[in-house]
Amino acid sequence: MSEAPLEAARRLETLLESENALLRACDYAAAAALAEQKDALMTALNQTVIAMPVVHRDPEFGAVGRRLNRLVEENRQLLEIAMQVQLRLIRLVANAPQSDSVIYTPTGAALREPLPRGMTFAAQA
């Protein structure tokens, strides 16, 4: 058997392991940066398997395929969680009280009431 399908499957396996680790760490930006590469690797794997259907008889390819199935399922679950987290953040921002009277101190604390006239915060060095 040619190494092409097996190698394509292993490259996808490695990428999914990396992406899942990033998703578990809530590093959504880094995980999203892998999307294009993941798509390309999935396409490459599909093309090599279509070109060489006998690969399904190879026990080593079957083992990698089972691992890929588990990784894909984990990836799906982690992506769903990530989307739920992002949706919650969007809702928090969208539903945040809006007021023109919020002033932020040099330490980042928010003051809901305006400062008395003439009072300002001096810039700290």
Burial of 7 (C-beta count, 10 Å sphere; 0-12/13-18/19+)? middle
104, β-bridge pairs: 110
Strand 103-104 and strand 110-111: the pairing is antiparallel
> How confident is the prediction for the chain on average, in pLDDT?
86
Q: What is the pLDDT of residue 1?
A: 47
The count of residues in the chain is 125
Q: Dump pLDDT digits (tens) for 59-92.
A: 999 999 999 999 999 999 999 999 999 999 999 8
Q: What is the pLDDT of residue 118?
A: 61
Prediction pTM value: 0.72
Q: What is the pLDDT of residue 125?
A: 47
